[in-house]
Amino acid sequence: MHLSNRNTSQWQKIDSDHHLHPFTDYKDLNNTGSKIIVSAKGTYVTDSENNKLLDMMAGLWCVNIGYGRKELSEVAKQQMDLLPYYNSFFKTATTPSVELSRILSDITPKGINKFFYGSSGSESNDTLVRLVRRYWDILGKKNKKTFISRTYAYHGSTMASASLGGMQAMHGQGDLPLPGFVHVTPPYYYKFGKNMSESEFCNYAVSEVEKKINEIGPDNIAAFIGEPIQGAGGVIIPPPNYWQLIQKLCKKYEILLCVDEVICGFGRTGEWFGSQFYNIEPDIITFAKGITSGYLPLSGIGISDQVSNIIIDRGGEFYHGYTYSGHPVPCAVAIENIRILKEEKIIENVKNNIAPYLQKRMKEFENHPLVGEVRGQGLLVGVELVKNKKQKEFFEPTGKVGNICRDHCMNNNLIMRAVRDGMMCSPPLTITKEDIDICIDRFSKALDLTAKDVNKLTI
C-alpha cells in the first residue's frame, strides 16, 4: 500500500523540507537524502528503489518475530474494530491490558507481578524514576534519590531517561544530566580492561560502583540501573560474574536493582529476559521494543511484590500516568506476539541453534586486520574496528571509520549499525542460518572496502 505514487527523489525532497528525524544531523542528511523504506518481509526490508536489504538490526533492536506477520495486523484490526481506545485512569480497564499483565507475570523474572504501561522505553524509564523515588519517600527515606548508571548506558531520550543514560553527547545538549544521576565505569573489558584479566576487571568495575555508593552515601542512593547487555552503547557484554556481584552490592547497601530490559527482553539473549540469562532477581524492570516486535508502540515497567506492596498499601494515589497507558490495541498485539514467540519456540531456537551459529560465524572476523574484537551473546553482536589490533588502539576521531563501514554495508544491501567504530547486529530472532551466511558474505565485502578506505585515510 502506497500513500501515493511519488518517486524516490520526490519523497526525499518532501522529507528534507518537512521532516526532522531523531538523532540526525539535518544538513548532512539533506545532502544525501533519506533511504525510503516501503515494505518488509521476514528479515528483509525493501526501499523505494526496490533494493532488498538484509536487516541485521531488526529495525531498531525491536522486530523480534520478523516483518510481515499477518497475525499481528489481524489482531490489531480486530481490536480496533471492537474497541480502538479506552483509558484506565478512572477505575476502568480494557481486556487486552488485563490479560497482558497476567501473561507478563508468568514470563518476567521471579517476583515481578505488577505492570504499569507506557508507549516507549523512555517513558517507562521516566516512570521508573518517579516510582523509585516515591517508594523511598513512602518508607520515610527521603534522601534516597540518586540513581547510579553506567557510561555508555542508553535508557532513552526524555529528560529523565537521558539523564539515566550515560551518553556524553546527549548530556551536552539540554543541560543534562539532571541532578541525582551519576555514572560509573561500564563492564566494557576491551576498552577499559587495560592489563587486567577479565575477572580482575569485573571486580574493578564492581568496586567502582561501591566507591560511588560510598562517595555519595548509601542513604542517598535510590537505585542502580543497567541494561543486562548494553545495546546502543556498543553491545557491551559484562564479565560472567558482574551481575551477581552488582546484585550483592545492591542488597548490602539497600539499593533497588533496576534492569532495563528494553533490548534484552523478549528473547534476545535466548531467555525471555536478560535478568534470567544472568540469573538475577531485579526489583524493577522496564521493557518496550520486542514486546510487540515493534509493530505498535508499547512499553512497561514490571515491579516486584516487595516494592509494589509498599506502593499499594501505603502510597495512596500515584499521580502519574499516560493517556495511552495500557492502550488496548498494542496490548492485544503484544499478547499475539508473545503467543507466537512461545508456540513457535522461537526463543529456544535462538538459544540452541541460531545464536551459537551467528556467534560462531561472526567470530571468524577476528582474523580480519581491522577487527580488534568480536563479542556477542544471544542475537547481539558487536564488532570492534580498531587502528591497531595488537595495541588495542582505537581510531581518532571516533566514529568516522564506523560510518564508512556502515555505508559500505548499506551499499551491499546489509543493514548494520555503527556505534563509535564498532559494528552492531541485533537481527530478528527468526533469522535463518542461510540469511546469516548472506550477512557474513556481505559484511566481509564491506569490511574489505572499509580497510581500503582506511589505508587511504591514514598514511
Ligand X SMILES: *Cc1c(COP(=O)(O)O)cnc(C)c1O
Residue numbers at the binding site for ligand X (CB under 6 A): 61, 120-122, 125, 154-156, 227, 231-232, 260, 262-263, 288
Nearer to ligand X, 290 or 372 (CB): 290
Q: Which residue is nearest to ligand X (CB)?
A: 121
Nearer to ligand X, 418 or 446 (CB): 418
Nearer to ligand X, 246 or 262 (CB): 262
Minimum CB distance to ligand X, residue 263 (Å): 4
Minimum CB distance to ligand X, residue 254 (Å): 25
Minimum CB distance to ligand X, residue 48 (Å): 25
Nearer to ligand X, 43 or 299 (CB): 299
3-state secondary structure the chain: CCCCCCCHHHHHHHHHHHCCCCCCCHHHHHHHCCCCEEEEEECEEEECCCCEEEECCHHHHCCCCCECCHHHHHHHHHHHHHCCCCCCCCCCCCHHHHHHHHHHHHHCCCCEEEEEEECCHHHHHHHHHHHHHHHHHHCCCCCCCEEEEECCCCCCCCHHHHHHCCCHHHHCCCCCCCCCEEEECCCCHHHHCCCCCHHHHHHHHHHHHHHHHHHHCHHHEEEEEECCCECCCCCECCCCCHHHHHHHHHHHCCCEEEEECCCCCCCCCCCCCHHHHCCCCCCEEEECHHHHCCCCCCEEEEEEHHHHHHHHHHCCCCCCCCCCCCCHHHHHHHHHHHHHHHHCCHHHHHHHHHHHHHHHHHHHHHHCCCEEEEEEECCEEEEEECCECCCCECCCCCCHHHHHHHHHHHHCCEECEEECCEEEECCCCCCCHHHHHHHHHHHHHHHHHHHHHHHHHCC
Nearer to ligand X, 372 or 422 (CB): 422
Minimum CB distance to ligand X, residue 58 (Å): 12
Nearer to ligand X, 333 or 370 (CB): 333
Minimum CB distance to ligand X, residue 85 (Å): 20
Minimum CB distance to ligand X, residue 225 (Å): 10
Minimum CB distance to ligand X, residue 298 (Å): 9
Nearer to ligand X, 333 or 438 (CB): 333
Minimum CB distance to ligand X, residue 452 (Å): 33
Nearer to ligand X, 120 or 304 (CB): 120
